[in-house]
A and B are shown apart, each in its own frame.
Chain A
Amino acid sequence: MFWQQLVNGLTVGSTYSLIALGYTLIFGVLGIINMAHGQIFIFGSLVGLVLMTSMQMPLGVALVASIVISAILGLILEYAALRPLRKKNVPHLASLISTIGFAILVEEAMHKIFGADSRAFPQSFGDKTFDLGIIQVRSVDLIILGISLILMFVLHFWIQKTKMGKAIRATAENADTANILGINTNMVIIVTVMLASALGGVAGILIGMAYSALIPTMGMTLGFKGLAVLILGGVGSIPGAMVCGVLLGVIEVFTVAYGDSSYRDAVAFGLIIIILLLKPEGLFGRKA
Chain B
Amino acid sequence: MDILNPYNLQVFTFILLNSILAISIYITLSTGQLSLGHAGFMSIGAFTASILSKQADMPMFIAIIIGGLAAGIVALLIGAPTLKLHGLYLAIATLGFGEVIRVILLNMKITNGALGLTGLQSIGNYLYDFEKAMGLKAQSLGISVIQMKSLTTFVFMLLLFAVVLFLTLRLNRSRLGRAFEAIKADETAARAMGLQVAYYKMLAFIIGSVLAGVCGGLYAHITTTITPDDFNYHKVVEILSYAVIGGSEVVWGPLFGALVLTALPEVLRGLAEYKMLMYGLIMVGVMAFRPHGLIGTDTFQKLFRRRKGKPGNEAKEGM
Contact = CB atoms under 8 A, between A and B. Distances in A.
Interface of A: 33, 80-81, 84-85, 88, 90-98, 100-105, 107-108, 220, 224, 227-228, 230-231, 235, 260, 262-263, 265-266, 268-270, 272-273, 276-277, 280
B100 interface: yes
28 contacts: A33-B91, A80-B284, A81-B288, A84-B288, A88-B291, A91-B291, A91-B292, A94-B291, A96-B34, A96-B91, A97-B241, A98-B284, A100-B237, A102-B280, A102-B284, A108-B274, A228-B96, A231-B93, A235-B89, A262-B106, A262-B107, A263-B107, A266-B99, A268-B96, A269-B95, A269-B97, A273-B93, A273-B97
Contact of B280 (A88, A90, A105, A273): A105
A104 B245 CA distance: 15
A269 B100 contact: yes
A177 to B, nearest CB: 23
Nearest to A109: B277
Interface in B35-93: 81-82, 84-85, 87-89, 91-93
B82 A276 contact: yes
Interface string B105-143: 011000000000000000000000000000000000000
A contact face: mostly helix, strand, loop, or mixed: helix
A220 B93 CA distance: 16
A100 B276 contact: no
Q: Which 5 A-B pairs have the closest CB atoms?
A: A101-B283, A269-B96, A104-B280, A98-B287, A84-B288
Contacts of A100: 237, 240-241, 283
Contact of B291 (A33, A90, A228): A90
B281 interface: yes
A49 to B, nearest CB: 23
Contact of A105 (B34, B233, B237, B277): B277
B222 interface: no
A273 B282 contact: no
Nearest to B236: A100
Contacts of B251: none
Given A101-B279, A273-B100, A280 B85 contact: yes
B99 A104 contact: no
- Most-contacted residue by chain A among B96, B277, B287 (CB, 10 A): B287
B253 to A, nearest CB: 13
Contacts of A102: 280, 284
A272 B280 contact: no
A36 to B, nearest CB: 10
Contacts of B289: 84
Contact of A231 (B89, B97, B287, B292): B89
B286 to A, nearest CB: 8
Contacts of A227: 92, 95
Contacts of A81: 284, 287-288
Interface residues of B, number: 41
A269 B92 CA distance: 9
B210 interface: no
A286 to B, nearest CB: 14
B283 A270 contact: no
Nearest to B279: A104
B158 interface: no
A268 B93 CA distance: 11
A105 B281 contact: yes
B244 interface: yes
Nearest to A265: B103
A38 to B, nearest CB: 11
B185 interface: no
A260 B103 CA distance: 12
Interface in B274-310: 274, 276-277, 279-284, 287-289, 291-292
A105 B88 CA distance: 22
Contacts of B97: 269, 273
A85 B107 CA distance: 41
B237 A276 contact: no
Contacts of A268: 96
B155 interface: no
Nearest to A281: B89
Given A97-B241, A98-B287, A235 B88 contact: yes
B104 interface: yes
Contact of B287 (A33, A101, A263, A273): A101
Contacts of B280: 101-105, 108
- Most-contacted residue by chain A among B95, B97, B100, B106 (CB, 10 A): B100
Contact of B93 (A84, A98, A272): A272
Contacts of A270: 96, 100
A108 B82 CA distance: 33
Contacts of B277: 104-105, 108
Nearest to A33: B88
Contact of B282 (A80, A101, A230, A235): A101
Contacts of B81: 276-277
B85 A269 contact: no
Given A108-B276, A280-B84, A97 B283 contact: yes
